[in-house]
A = this chain, B = another copy of it.
Amino acid sequence: MVGNTSNQAGSDLRVGVIGVGHGVFGRRSDASVQELAFEAYREALQDAGLEPDAIDASVIGAVPEYHKQRSVGGVVQEYLNLNPKPTWLTEVACASGSAAIRTAWMAIRSGLHQVVAVIGCQKMTELTTPEILALMGRVGDVQWESVFGTTFPGYYAMFAERHRHEFGTSEEQLALVAVKNHYYGARNDKALFRKEITVEKALASDPVASPLRVYDCCANADGAACVILAGADRIREIGAGDRTVWLDGLGCATASMSVLRRPHLTGLPSAEDAAQQAYAMAGITAGDIDVADVHDCFTIAEIMAYEDLGFCAKGEGGRFIAEKQSYVGGTTPVNIDGGLKAKGHPIGATGVSMAYEIIRQLRGECGERQVPDASVGLTHNVGGIGQYCFVNVFRRE
């Protein structure tokens, strides 16, 4: 395991985030994918107080096949006026943005680049819903599963059913996750859905894949987010030290693509593994997390995340939300930006959007959504149906 602070010579090897940007998520018929990327990138540059020529490289988080433009990273790089700087794209389904952040961390820590812009961007609404469902279904195992008609809601409905069977997690507890995330989404001007809902409204919504209903599911969206990372030495040169949020713990793990081969269906083994890696690297435990953004593609996914990340014991996730422990003021506030559920889920952008929220929480910039005195934050970004999970720990000094 790599240490998080210094090498044998005592150099400060930390990598931190010095600028963040985020566009409005939703049906963005006003903008192409490169225009969405520019919106977030420009805001991040301004936030960092950097001139464009300070950027040494970019890493693009996106799922390519949703765009008419093949190899979308190239057109983003050109539109952001970043040629001839290096770029490449990372793809791990809905965790593509977190893979890009991990890659940027490695690029800087390895000494290959000093300042790297990570751009998560995705244009989804040009496709029809059936087209998107067909693409998403094939993120399940094509050879053994999706050929029989599995879909994303179907997989997560299985997780929810099993969680109910083993732990009694109720449809009302699922709905309470949606209520919380809409409550905070209504207070986030970057979110797709900016309205509160009630438990009754959620429970009365149409079934999608039993027990999941419309309000248990996040929505496809267009959007982009950007974070700019740099090494400690460069941050000192720039003079950005006092606003820097350090990326101190990185976890990444995989699980079998086929859910048939998973040890259980009540959580994601990849999330448990990734969390342990990130905690160990950052030298913390779950109890040290002041605020978290987790991958609530479905309400059951947030409940499983509470448990996989150690915010509560196994099987206690339903009670955790019922007791409002994931609200501001609870044990561990979660998805105070509205989560995927209320923000919308432009798949390549989501991991970077999570980092944007956590960094702004740690900088104390979240206004009425601010978690008081937050100094350690976490992102939990799942790819596919848990075949990938990336957990990152951020810290403000």
A7-B7, A273-B84 given; A70·B136 CB < 8 A = yes
User: Are B106 and A258 in touch, CB under 8 angstroms?
Assistant: no
| Known A-B contacts A2-B112, A110-B2, A110-B110; A71 and B387 likewise in contact (beta carbons under 8 Å) | yes
- List residues of A whose CB falls within 8 A of some B CB: 2-3, 7-9, 11, 32, 57, 63-65, 68-71, 73-75, 77-78, 82-93, 99, 102-103, 105-107, 109-112, 135-136, 138-139, 141-143, 250, 252-258, 261, 269-270, 273, 383-384, 387-388
Question: Whole-angstrom distance between the alpha carbons of A8 and B252 in the complex?
Answer: 29
Chain B residue contacts of A387, Cβ below 8 A: 71, 74, 77-78
The contact of A71 among B71, B253, B383, by CB within 8 Å, is B383
Given contacts A70-B93, A70-B135, contact A254 B85 (CB under 8 A): yes
**With A65-B65, A110-B105, A139-B71 known to touch, is A90 a contact of B90 (CB < 8 Å)?**
yes
Please tell me if the beta carbons of A270 and B84 are within 8 angstroms of each other in the complex: yes
Q: Which of B57, B106, B138, B254 makes the CB contact (< 8 A) with A87?
A: B254
* B contact residues around A257 at 8 Å (CB): 74-75, 77-78
**Do B110 and A91 touch across chains, with their CB atoms under 8 A apart?**
no
Give the docked Cα–Cα distance between A80 and B258 (Å). 13
Complex contacts, A90 vs chain B, CB 8 Å = 88-91
* Bound Cα distance from A82 to B384, whole angstroms: 17
**8 tightest CB-CB pairs across the interface, nearest first?**
A2-B111, A8-B9, A86-B252, A109-B110, A74-B387, A106-B106, A9-B9, A88-B99
Most buried by B among A89, A136, A143: A89
User: Can you spell out 19 A-B residue pairs with CB atoms less than 8 angstroms apart?
Assistant: A2-B112, A7-B9, A8-B11, A9-B9, A63-B64, A64-B91, A65-B70, A69-B143, A71-B383, A74-B254, A75-B141, A75-B257, A84-B270, A89-B91, A106-B107, A106-B109, A106-B110, A109-B111, A112-B250
B91 touches A91 (CB 8 A): yes
Closest to A87 in B: B254
The residue of chain B having its C-beta at the shortest distance from the C-beta of A68 within the complex is B142
Closest Cβ neighbor of A11 among chain B residues: B8
